[in-house]
Structure 1
């Protein structure tokens, strides 16, 4: 494939990233020890080459266009990969440093990821971590993430998944709800109960309950008067308020179960689980700062499983 080498250098890409981060050609020029005109010319050469406008310019500041934002993400990744390649070739094993952006579901985030970060930062103080807690799917390139934690199996073949844990599911309710409505003992009993529903953001569909029936895990449809969309921790809150039965991850209600605020039911059908995996694009080099966070999180969860103490968030 023929290559079109034009007058665009790595320095121009670095100036573009600097101006994008500072939202100012003048501030970028000052930090790079150049004139604002030199920065403007470098950005202009990029725009001419790409045939697209990267910035919207005003008298006070500059901001990226939609195309500029997408290009900025790609440039940051490319420059980071080049810098790491140089370090590896020169034989310098430097301390991991820089920003890692990770997206995680609210359940995993509050109970597993966020509690691990103080220990991670103590070990790697030069690595900064930006966490997005959301149950919605992300676009790694457009949204600028390095890693994501997601439940359920991943169908995208362009992603590499690393299993972190199999989260046990439990059915719970308050003692008061069970006094008023009785305790379900069979799967058929569930149709006579108010079962709190969670709506999966990616599909808009109700998530079926997962029970072990006759030694085999299967999905069971339930009904109820309360639904919660996007944040499954809302299901936990509804259950604690006495709204009905709920199926949730055990690690989200362990403390409530220990205190007696919630009671586990349907234990004869328990033992089902859903996986949480750490995912990242298969076609992207993983910088050292990203790799150490991935390895640390996997080890942190493994150590707690070995000790018999599941991760949990503080009250």
Structure 2
């Protein structure tokens, strides 16, 4: 086989991937132990060799061009294969290592995933975990994430989607609110109550409330004087302090239901849920750290399902 790359070119590809993943020449330089100027010169030489502009540069940030994104996806996969090959040859195939970057919705992150991470790292101490908590859609390539968990994930041929659970919904309110405003007796009564809303950050649309009735699933767009965005737990806090009714995931209010600071309302209409999905890039070779985390989550599903 004719040699296509020298050591300098392979190093340039690694620096390019670091810059793409960190979104900064400075951050890439810090991780690689070189100067930002060296990273900038390396990227410029790589762009000249390819005849393609890889990054759009501003004074404050960089982002991949369409060509840069395509090049990154291929380079990242190739480097991953090289790393996996070295680990296998060196007998380290059973020792996942490196940085795992995860993006989680706030509520699911706090109540489902974050409590699991100490156990995960105890099993795999060579894996460092970086967690992003937020409800916006992320870009796996430009932002360098390995895994994301989302509710109502949209179909995407570049991603593998794995169903985690259908999280049960529950309508709750504080005893003080129910003493003041009365207890709803039917779904139609919700129109007369203060209903705390949550706004989707991706679309600005307020999400509906879902209820299971004898005729099937019923969707209600309730109204009220409170609306939260970004963090669903804001609605739980408002409800706990008597602001009104709020529909939450049952796993996020189990403690409050147990201690009486929140009460379930209209329990005869429970049974609705929303799905949570694990997403990761559709690469032929999945890094060991990603495989390890996916397998670990799958182990936890039985416990989640048994507790709900």
Normalising by structure 2, we get a TM-score of 0.83
CA RMSD of superposed structures (Å):
3.2
Deviations 1:47-75 (A, max 9, x none): 3213447698x9xxxx9743499699654
Aligned to 1:33: none
1:66 and 2:72 matched = no
Q: Matches of residues 177-188 of structure 1 in structure 2 within 5 Å? A: 177-188=177-188
When residues 217 and 53 of structure 1 are mapped into structure 2, their CA distance, relative to the original with a 3 A threshold, is closer
Instruction: Name the SS of the counterpart of 1:9 in structure 2.
Output: helix
When residues 184 and 92 of structure 1 are mapped into structure 2, their CA distance, relative to the original with a 3 A threshold, is same
Give how far 1:298 is off: 2.2
Aligned to 1:32: none
Which residue, out of 2, 12, 23, partners 2:29? 23
When residues 175 and 165 of structure 1 are mapped into structure 2, their CA distance, relative to the original with a 3 A threshold, is same
Gaps of 5+ in 2: 20-24
Aligned to 1:170: 170
Total equivalences in the alignment: 293
Aligned to 1:189: 189
Deviations 1:55-112 (A, max 9, x none): 98x9xxxx97434996996545542232114434676524000011110100000001
CA distance in 1, matches of 2:202, 2:77: 27
Aligned to 2:22: none
CA distance in 2, matches of 1:216, 1:40: 59
CA distance in 1, matches of 2:85, 2:208: 47
Aligned to 2:132: 132
Give how far 1:46 is off: 1.5
1:105 and 2:102 matched = no
Give how far 1:155 is off: 2.6
CA distance in 2, matches of 1:45, 1:25: 20
CA distance in 2, matches of 1:227, 1:120: 36
CA distance in 1, matches of 2:88, 2:258: 50
Does the CA-based 8 Å contact 1:73-1:142 persist in structure 2? no
Normalising by structure 1, we get a TM-score of 0.81
Does the CA-based 8 Å contact 1:17-1:72 persist in structure 2? no
Instruction: Name the SS of the counterpart of 1:205 in structure 2.
Output: coil
Give how far 1:152 is off: 1.8
CA distance in 1, matches of 2:71, 2:54: 12
Instruction: Name the SS of the counterpart of 2:103 in structure 1.
Output: strand
Q: Matches of residues 181-260 of structure 1 in structure 2 within 5 Å? A: 181-214=181-214, 216-260=216-260
Aligned to 1:148: 148
CA distance in 2, matches of 1:194, 1:87: 58
Deviations 1:29-52 (A, max 9, x none): 8xxxxxx98x88755532321344
Gaps of 5+ in 1: 30-35, 311-315
Give how far 1:26 is off: 10
Question: Structure 1 residues 88-97 or 130-139, which shifts more?
Answer: 88-97
Aligned to 1:303: 303
Aligned to 1:280: 280
Give how far 1:194 is off: 0.6
